[in-house]
């Protein structure tokens, strides 16, 4: 009983030291932002523990060979308490320490070595998964195992002379099964520690392979963790209601309602969809698509590429309503860019020019219904523009001043109808560096 009581106390000192070391690595605590850390139990004969953060239990019964998921918390100071498994902090914490987490930091805190010589390792994690490869690092945490070379099963070394308690950098390797061997550094023959069955690696994922256990006891093994996964690619799509006599509408993507009661002249925020083709259906607001008598206002199958932004617009008058898909631009590095889209069904082709400028100096010339200009690079600032019948000096629409900020992309939509006086412009920000 006395020996069991002493072991948690010894482990407490080790992990407390680890927390202090992590604090030093993180430098001064920062207000705002978040940080992450996880705890690895790599001391072969140390007892299991429970972990508390700011008085709340987060993980229980962490035994040798277990690693917690990352704990995400606000950057700054936090109380970390570790207790013998099954006990409460009020009964006596194995650890009661303050951890200062720097904004954006990611760390692994590992208790290593046998209990009599237990020690802490603080490992700075920096996963950065890539799309076309798996990313792997090896961490040597077996205290009585000498320096090792690391190789695929039967292959040539990819890492040489890795000694306890060091880690390799992250290595990009092809996806698939990796049968990892740990061999005595520089030796052709000798013991081999490996992971039976190998490690299955996938592109877009970052892994750590921890060598843990005791060489002398013959139980060295590999613990593989997924540190990060590259988010799946997405496309961004927004919806514009530009049909002047159409009612408010509901919008469905692949049968799922995504926007409700969109009025004429409204444009949504960007929605994220998976790259590829999607069925976009538009119904009168409140209509039930499951009913046979429900009429589809628009039913279009449209493809979107990864990492692109698009505008899906309902255009023309209701009896001729149709979809128009525009590719939107990303924010420029400097200056501003702006384009004009003509979506007024009864307005003639138009020129867009600076207030009072001659027709031949128009910025955009002969823009017809359904057309979009190229994005034009301009200096940041305020612009007074006129809309005129193509080639004419007479002003059809005098636009309010447009304030264009540096590092931003804009679209100016001309919507409404000339005949009923509803012609107007809708300026929107497509993207901004801010």
199 and 114 share one domain: no
Q: Summarize pLDDT for 304-315 with one digit per residue, the tens.
A: 999 999 999 999
338 and 318 share one domain: no
pLDDT band per the 50, 70, 90 thresholds, residue 202 = very high
Which whole-number Å values give the CA distances from 230 to 203, 234, 272, 425, in the listed order? 9, 12, 16, 40
89 and 133 share one domain: no
Q: Summarize pLDDT for 213-239 with one digit per residue, the tens.
A: 998 888 888 899 999 999 989 999 999
Average confidence (pLDDT) over 302-331: 97
* CA pair distance 263, 416, nearest whole angstrom: 13
Q: How many independent structural domains does the chain possess? A: 4
What count of Cα atoms within 13 Å lies in the side-chain half-sphere of residue 85? 12
**The pTM is what?**
0.67
Straight-line distance from the first to the last Cα atom of the chain, in angstroms, rounded to the nearest whole number: 61
Q: Summarize pLDDT for 347-368 with one digit per residue, the tens.
A: 999 998 888 788 888 889 999 9
167 and 221 share one domain: yes
Query: What is the model's pLDDT at position 6?
Result: 31
Domain's final residue, options 57, 92, 125: 125
Which token pair is 223? 């613990």
Q: 58: domain range? A: 1-125
Which CATH number fits the domain that encloses residue 264? Answer: 2.60.40
Average confidence (pLDDT) over 361-389: 91
What percentage of residues in the chain have a pLDDT greater than 70?
A: 90
| Mean pLDDT, rounded, of the chain | 86
Average confidence (pLDDT) over 392-407: 86
318 and 337 share one domain: no
Domain's final residue, options 95, 125, 155: 125
CB-based contacts of 183, cutoff 8 Å, min separation 6: 148, 149, 150, 151, 157, 190, 191, 192
Domain's final residue, options 93, 125, 157: 125
95 and 136 share one domain: no
């Amino acid at each position: 009983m006395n020996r069991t009581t002493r072991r948690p106390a010894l482990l407490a000192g080790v992990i407390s030291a680890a927390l202090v070391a992590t604090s030093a690595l993180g430098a001064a605590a920062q207000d705002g932002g978040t940080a992450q850390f996880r705890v690895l139990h790599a001391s072969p004969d140390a007892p299991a523990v429970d972990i508390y953060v700011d008085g709340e239990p987060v993980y229980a019964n962490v035994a040798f060979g277990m690693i917690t998921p990352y704990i995400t918390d606000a950057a700054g100071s936090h109380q970390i308490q570790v207790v013998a498994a099954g006990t409460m902090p009020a009964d006596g914490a194995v650890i009661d320490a303050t951890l200062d987490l720097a904004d954006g930091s990611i760390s692994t805190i590992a208790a290593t070595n046998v209990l009599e010589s237990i020690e802490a390792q603080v490992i700075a994690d920096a996963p950065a998964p890539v799309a076309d490869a798996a990313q792997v690092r090896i961490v040597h945490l077996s205290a009585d195992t000498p320096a090792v070379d690391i190789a695929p099963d039967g292959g040539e070394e990819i890492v040489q002379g890795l000694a306890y308690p060091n880690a390799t950098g992250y290595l990009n390797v092809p996806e698939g099964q990796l049968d990892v061997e740990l061999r005595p550094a520089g030796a052709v023959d000798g013991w081999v520690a490996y992971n039976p069955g190998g490690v299955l690696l996938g592109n877009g994922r970052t892994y750590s392979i921890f060598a843990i256990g005791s060489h002398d006891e013959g139980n060295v093994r590999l613990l593989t963790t997924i540190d990060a996964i590259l988010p799946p690619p997405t496309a961004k799509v927004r919806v514009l209601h530009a049909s002047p006599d159409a009612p408010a509408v509901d919008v469905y993507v692949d049968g799922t309602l995504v926007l409700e009661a969109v009025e004429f002249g409204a444009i949504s925020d960007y929605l994220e969809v998976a790259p590829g083709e999607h069925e976009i259906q538009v119904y009168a607001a409140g209509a039930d698509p499951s009913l046979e008598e429900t009429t589809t206002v628009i039913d279009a199958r449209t493809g979107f590429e990864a990492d692109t932004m698009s505008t899906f617009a309902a255009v023309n008058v209701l009896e001729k309503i149709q979809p128009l898909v525009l590719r939107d631009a990303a924010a420029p590095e400097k200056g501003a860019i702006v384009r004009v889209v003509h979506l007024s069904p009864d307005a003639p082709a138009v020129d867009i020019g600076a207030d009072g400028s001659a027709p031949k100096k128009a910025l955009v010339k002969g823009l017809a219904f359904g057309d979009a200009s190229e994005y034009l690079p301009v200096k940041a600032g305020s612009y007074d523009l006129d809309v005129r019948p193509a080639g004419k000096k007479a002003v059809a629409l005098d636009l309010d001043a447009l304030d264009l900020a540096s590092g931003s992309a804009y679209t100016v939509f001309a919507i409404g109808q000339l005949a009923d006086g509803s012609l107007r412009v809708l300026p929107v920000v497509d993207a901004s560096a801010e």
